[in-house]
Amino acid sequence: MTSQAPVNRRAVLAAAGVGVLGVAIAACTGSDAGSGGDKPAEPKARLTFTPPLDGEAPSPIAEISVQAADGTLNPDVKLTNPRGRVVNGRLSEDRTSYTIAEPLGYGTEYTWSGTALGTDGKTVPVAGSFTTLEPSSQLNVVVNIGDGQEVGIAAPIILKFNGTVEDKEEVERALTVTTTPPTEGSWAWLGEDNGSRVHWRPREYWAPGTKVHMDAKLYGLDHGGGAYGAADVTSDFSIGRAQVVQAVESSHRIVVIRDGAELMSLPCSYGGGDLDRNVTRSGIHVVTEKYDEFFMSNPAAGYFNIRERWAVRISNNGEFIHANPATVNVQGTANVTNGCINLSEADAERYFNTAVYGDPVEVSGTRIQLSEADGDIYDWIFDWETWQGMSAIKGEVTESSVPATPSGAPTTNVPAPR
């Protein structure tokens, strides 16, 4: 039998110690070493706001949206106003963008809320707020033709602003006119009259029966000079029958043509012409309003509150087609008026009942032409090339300060309903 050498107790203990140490070392060198001091990984989903939340105040009609990268937006995303109302918006089919679908208010704070889910399965909040711009002023506009109205073949579309439009080109680009059948026409900027005014006129008279839609996308639009549009404006109207008054001064008559055929031929008296203010202007006038009874004052001619009947206004300088019993004896033979076209009471009523807003009255043969100085609607004094040149887009706007109603024009006082 072979004997074994005795084991040294100290060596055994040393060996045991080495083994314990090796286990400890192995534990410290595993894959989790040092993980206790690292930050958790950032969520992958990234959000981009348009406009940036820390950027300039946007226009209320600017694009307002939030986009997600490396993730998708959840259906709980929304934008709310200060009263908690949710603004209308659309989530894209791939759920990577949410876009506001209605105009916002001026100078208002809006708040984003909701969540997005990253490709790593982690959720991130959609949060933040912005405030829309507060303009220094807002411009309102009035359109001359109301919805459903039927007008004459010479009627322009008129937009009258309650202040000056500095950026006329930008505003004009926001104006559209759609017609059935298609009609060639153009916008033109006329003189300031306590605010800017822009007219749309067809190249030639409207075709009878034309359907017209005018759309002015002005809300939120920068009009220049710190002013922005207060509201959008639309108008849907139609063109009626083709009625034209042919008024040849030397004939001492007016002839009313309806759809190419003579409707009536009426003896009349034109302006006497002794003084410039008494000359009936030559050119295409446009019917703008009519009264079955009114009282006219013309200090320059020396009369005040004279009762007139069946009056159809054709210019803001005081020109009317109306009844005047005082000139019946010369109607058809001489021109003696202060510039108006006088008819007998029966003939005036007959014509009155046929006239509508926008009918052209073509006066010819007098020594003074209708001009800007006569005010209101003088659109047809311009040839087509000149009219196009008054567009802020197609031409160069000429600054003018001719008012819609000339100073010193005869005034009318409409009596209260009886």
Query: What DSSP state is assigned to residue 380?
Result: G
Spatial strand order in the sheet of 78-80? 78-80, 109-113, 128-131
Query: What DSSP state is assigned to residue 145?
Result: S
Contacts of 156 (CB under 8 A, 6+ apart): 144, 199, 200, 201, 286, 377, 379
Q: Known catalytic residues?
A: 322, 340
310 touches 345 (CB < 8 A):
yes
- SS in 3 state form for 22-61? HHHHHHHCCCCCCHHHCCCCCCCCEEEEECCCCCCCCCCC
Query: What DSSP state is assigned to residue 146?
Result: -
**In whole angstroms, what is the distance from residue 58 CA to residue 61 CA?**
8
**In whole angstroms, what is the distance from residue 164 CA to residue 192 CA?**
7
Q: Of how many residues is the chain composed?
A: 418
Residue 205 token pair: 């008279």
Angle at 139 between CA 137 and CA 140, to 5 degrees: 140
H or E element at residue 261: strand 261-267
| Closest to 374 in 3D by CA, of 292, 283, 240 | 283
Residue 128 token pair: 């933040």
Find the farthest-apart pair of alpha carbons in the chain and give their distance in angstroms, rounded: 169
| Closest to 349 in 3D by CA, of 406, 288, 308 | 308
Contacts of 143 (CB under 8 A, 6+ apart): 157, 158, 159, 160, 214, 216, 233, 235
319 touches 313 (CB < 8 A):
yes
Residue 33 token pair: 């070493």
58 touches 64 (CB < 8 A):
yes
User: CA 31, 33, 34, 40 torsion: positive or negative?
Assistant: positive
In this structure, the number of other CB atoms found within 10 A of the CB of residue 150 comes to 15
